[in-house]
């Protein structure tokens, strides 16, 4: 057993946050699925399964030993946490490498930029392997990621109840090589004729928007602190206030379930 509970944010168990994100998706999916089905040219059940898996993957990087050591520090010592989006994107691609679809590629790109409002993956796409080495996420002289003790159990608990959750690949499937291959794969997917480039951009941004909505809805239910998970100052002492603001309309895509 680990010496501490695996956290997603201070005082919030990792699996709690993921399950709240999944719950948030169920609240908006009926209004989102028709558009997503047209955008990806897929059946509703396949799209829904893909979004569920994306949500389960998006914070996997928080299960690294470095991120858990960081989030358990006293509040005044938490500044600029190690990167975590890259490991989630890599896991999603590795898990589907034998049958990658547009949804998988778009979802991986959305995960890379889910902590950004600019619609850009920035360093997460440009140099994920180098960042992982420099921030101590990789075991010395190996390709292995340094996962926190108890990470695998927390990950599987977060996916309990989803179809095929017993078939999830182990976290050890993600290696330094996975991080090196990820930007090559996503660049290959995005380089096509102009009209398809536009479609793929829309696909990634659509999933990015869903992740932002679900992440914020879940984060609104966290224990309140003065700083957020990345060490920045919270927008408000009580994040529940956002539910009654114009921001809630934006985050719901103009929809209030």
In SS3 terms, the chain reads as CCCCCCEEECCEEHHHHHHHHHHHHHHHHHHHHHHHHHHHCCCHHHHHHHHHHHHHHCCHHHHEHHHHHHHCCCHHHCCCCCCCHHHHHHHHHHHCCCCCCHHHHHHHHHHHCCCCCCCCCCHHHHCHHHHHHHCCCECCCCCEECECCCHHHHHHHHCCCCCCHHHCCCHHHCEHHHHHHHHHHHHHHHCCCHHHHHHHHHHHHHHHHHHHHHHHHHHCCCCCCCECCCCCECCCCCHHHHHHCHHHHHHCCCCCC
How far is 63 from 147, CA to CA, in rounded Å?
A: 6
Q: How many CB atoms lie within 10 A of CB 43?
A: 11
- What are the structure tokens assigned to 19, written together? 């399950």
Long-range CB contacts (within 8 A, 24+) of 193-202: 199/39, 200/102, 200/105, 200/106, 202/39
Which pLDDT value is given to residue 242? 47
Q: How far is Cα of residue 50 from the mean position of the Cα atoms in its chain?
A: 13
Which pLDDT value is given to residue 248? 56
Which pLDDT value is given to residue 222? 76
How far is 94 from 185, CA to CA, in rounded Å?
A: 11
Which pLDDT value is given to residue 124? 74
Which domains are present in the chain?
7-251 (1.10.3210.30)
* pLDDT tens for each residue of the chain, 257 residues long: 456 799 999 999 999 999 999 999 999 999 999 999 999 999 999 999 999 999 999 999 999 999 999 999 998 999 888 889 999 999 999 999 999 999 999 999 999 998 765 555 566 778 999 999 999 999 999 999 999 999 999 999 999 999 888 899 999 999 999 999 999 999 999 999 999 999 999 999 999 999 999 998 998 887 666 555 655 555 544 555 544 454 455 455 554 43
How far is 130 from 135, CA to CA, in rounded Å?
A: 9
How far is 120 from 200, CA to CA, in rounded Å?
A: 14
Which pLDDT value is given to residue 1? 44
Nearest to 186 by CA among 87, 69, 102, 64: 102
């Amino acid at each position: 057993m680990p010496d501490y509970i695996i956290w997603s944010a201070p005082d919030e168990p990792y699996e709690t946050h993921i399950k709240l994100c999944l719950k948030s998706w169920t609240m908006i999916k009926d209004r989102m699925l028709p558009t997503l089905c047209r955008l990806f040219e897929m059946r509703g059940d396949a799209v829904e399964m893909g979004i569920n898996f994306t949500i389960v993957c998006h914070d996997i990087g928080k299960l690294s030993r470095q991120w858990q050591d960081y989030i358990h520090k006293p509040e005044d010592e938490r500044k600029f946490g190690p990167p975590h989006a890259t490991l989630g994107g890599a896991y999603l691609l590795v898990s589907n490498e034998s049958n990658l679809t547009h949804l998988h590629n778009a979802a991986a790109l959305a995960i890379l930029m889910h902590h950004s409002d600019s619609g850009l993956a920035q360093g997460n796409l440009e140099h994920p392997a180098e960042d992982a080495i420099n921030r101590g996420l990789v075991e010395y002289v190996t390709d292995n990621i340094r996962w926190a003790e108890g990470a695998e159990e927390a990950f599987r608990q977060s996916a309990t109840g989803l179809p095929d959750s017993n078939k999830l690949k182990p976290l050890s499937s993600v290696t330094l090589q996975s991080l090196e291959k990820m930007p090559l794969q996503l660049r290959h997917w995005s380089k096509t004729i102009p009209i398809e480039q536009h479609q793929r951009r829309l696909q990634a941004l659509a999933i990015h928007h869903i992740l932002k909505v679900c992440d914020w809805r879940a984060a609104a239910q966290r224990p309140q602190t003065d700083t957020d998970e990345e060490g920045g100052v919270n927008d408000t002492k009580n994040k529940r206030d956002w539910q009654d603001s114009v921001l809630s309309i934006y985050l719901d895509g103009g929809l209030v379930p």
